[in-house]
Amino acid sequence: MNMKLERRSFLAGGAAAVVGACWSTRAVGAVPDDLEIIDCHTHFYDPTRPEGVPWPAKGTPLYRTVLPQHLRAQKAYRRLTGTVVVEASPRIEDNAWLLDLAKSDPFVVGVVGSLNPADPEFASQVKRFAADGLFRGIRVSVESVVELLDRQRTADLKPLVDHDLALDVNGGPKSPAIVADLARQLPELRIVLNHIGNVRITADEPPPAWRAGMRAAGEQTNVFCKISALLECAADPGKQAPIDLEIYRPYLDVVWNALGAERVIYGSNWPVSERAGDYETLQRIALEHASERGLSALESFCAGNARRAYKWVDRLDRATR
C-alpha cells in the first residue's frame, strides 16, 4: 500500500469536506433572516361571499376562503413582510372587493387587477380603480396581447401608462418573445412577465425557443419577470415538485442572465402553488438561488425590483401583522 498516496487522498478528501461545509454555511448565511420580502404573486378570494367566486371551481382543494392571514400562517423559509395580490376573477367589481380587502390589511402593499383592454370602457375602468393608490396594475393573458399586436391596437394600453400602472402578462413558453414585441412598441409601459413564461422544467436543457424569447424580453428595459409558479412548472400531474435547487438552476440562470439583477422579482402563485409543494420549499429554492448573486441582488429580488415595477405602497405596520 502506498501510504503517501493514501494520506494525500485522505487529506484531499478532508479538505473537500471542510470546503463543502464552509460553502454550506455561507449559502445558508447568504439569506439573512431580516430581509424585506414582498411576495408579488398571490391570490385571495372568498367563496362564501353572496355572489360567490368564478374561480376556483367548487369541489377542488383550492375552493376555500383564502385571505392575507392565511398566507401569513404559512411556514416560510424567510418571513414575508408584504404581498402584491393578483385578481384572478374577470368580474369588474371583484377588483373593488380586493381593494376593500387590501385597505383593511396593511400586509397587502399592492393589487394587480383584472380588466380587459378590449372593453370599450377600459380607459374609464382604469381611471376608476387607479384612484385607489393600492391599485398597481392589471393582468392579461398573452392571447390578449397577441390580439392587440395583430390588430395594431397596442395604444389601447396607454391608460395604464397615463396612470403609472404596470401590466402583468400570463401565458406559455412563447410569451417572453411576445412580451418583447409589446415592450418594443410601448417602451414607456412597465411589463411584468408571469411565472417565467410557464416553461416546463425538466432535467433536460431549457427549450431553445423559450431561451431566445427570454433574451429578447431582457433586451427591453421595461420588462420584468416574476420567478413565480416555479414548483408548478416542475411538477408532474398529481405529484409534488422536486425540492433540489439544481433541477431549477438552468432555467433560473436563463432568466437572471437575460434580465439582470434589477428586473427579476420574487413571487409564489400561492395558494395555487400548494398543488406542487409547500410554501417553504418554493421560497427556499428561489431565495437560495438569488443569494448566489450577492446580497444586493437578493435584496432587489425580494423587494426592490418589485418597487420599481409596481411602485407598491409601503404601508405602516404591514410587517407586524
CA angle 307, 309, 312 (to 5 degrees): 40
Read off the pLDDT of residues 49-90 as tens digits, 9 standing for 90 and up: 999 999 999 999 999 999 999 999 999 999 999 999 999 999
Show the domains of the chain with their CATH numbers: 36-320 (3.20.20.140)
Q: Regarding beta strands 264-266 and 166-170, do their DSSP bridges make them parallel or antiparallel, or are they unpaired?
A: unpaired
Q: Is there a contact between 142 and 169 (Cβ–Cβ < 8 Å)?
A: yes
pLDDT computed for residue 142 by the predictor: 98
Predicted model pTM? 0.90
Place of cell 397615463: 162
Runs of H (alpha helix) within the chain: 3-29, 68-72, 92-103, 122-130, 142-150, 158-162, 175-185, 208-218, 230-234, 245-259, 279-291, 295-299, 305-310
List, edge to edge, every strand of the sheet that includes 108-113. 38-42, 82-86, 108-113, 135-141, 166-170, 190-193, 223-227, 264-266
pLDDT computed for residue 2 by the predictor: 38
Q: Is there a contact between 44 and 94 (Cβ–Cβ < 8 Å)?
A: no
C-alpha cell at 69: 392571514
Q: pLDDT grade, residue 320 (50/70/90)?
A: low
Per-residue pLDDT at 199 exceeds 80: yes
pLDDT computed for residue 238 by the predictor: 87
**DSSP labels, 158-181:** HHHHHTT-EEEEE-STTHHHHHHH
Burial letters 76-96, b for 16+ CB under 10 A, else e: bbbebbbbbbbbbbeebebbe
pLDDT computed for residue 123 by the predictor: 98
Per-residue pLDDT at 23 exceeds 90: no
Q: Is there a contact between 202 and 251 (Cβ–Cβ < 8 Å)?
A: no
CA distance 227 to 222: 17
Per-residue pLDDT at 16 exceeds 70: no
Q: Which amino acid is at 71?
A: L
Closest CA to 305 of 82, 79, 40, 108: 40
Read off the pLDDT of residues 118-171 as tens digits, 9 standing for 90 and up: 999 999 999 999 999 999 999 999 999 999 999 999 999 999 999 999 999 999
Read off the pLDDT of residues 271-307 as tens digits, 9 standing for 90 and up: 999 999 999 999 999 999 999 999 999 999 999 999 9
pLDDT computed for residue 49 by the predictor: 96
